[in-house]
Structure 1
Amino acid sequence: MPGYDQGNERDRAEFLCSLFESHGFQPGFSRDALQFSRSDTERLFEWFGEPPPGFAYKWPDT
């Protein structure tokens, strides 16, 4: 399951998850990382849209 490190926010895991749940995603939080299923990850990048300048390398190839 892809994860996004949030170690400095571990005490706010429920809050972080709720931010995405309010948009239809179902993240989990484990070992300091916000995690998404593969299908949610694909939808997440669609939701993000185009990467900001300088961050294209972090977006999946389309």
Structure 2
Amino acid sequence: TLAACCAERGIAPAEVVAFGDMPNDIEMLSWAGASFAMGNAHPDAVAAASGRTATNEEDGVAIVIER
């Protein structure tokens, strides 16, 4: 998992930004210090994320990174 990978490297959840769109991303979105559901995300992923961005087709990840 992302949590295990970060723990091995001494990276705290607060230092992690995660992006997701489906229910399989909920654990990661809830764990990360900052998390964004994509604009076309499943409602459960939206509920788990701390923020929302544009869709995959609209470069949602890049929009957040460029902030």
Please classify the TM superposition score into its range, dividing by the shorter chain length. Answer: under 0.3
TM-score (norm 2): 0.25
Higher relative contact order (CA 8 A, sep 6+): 1
Q: TM-score, normalised by structure 1?
A: 0.26
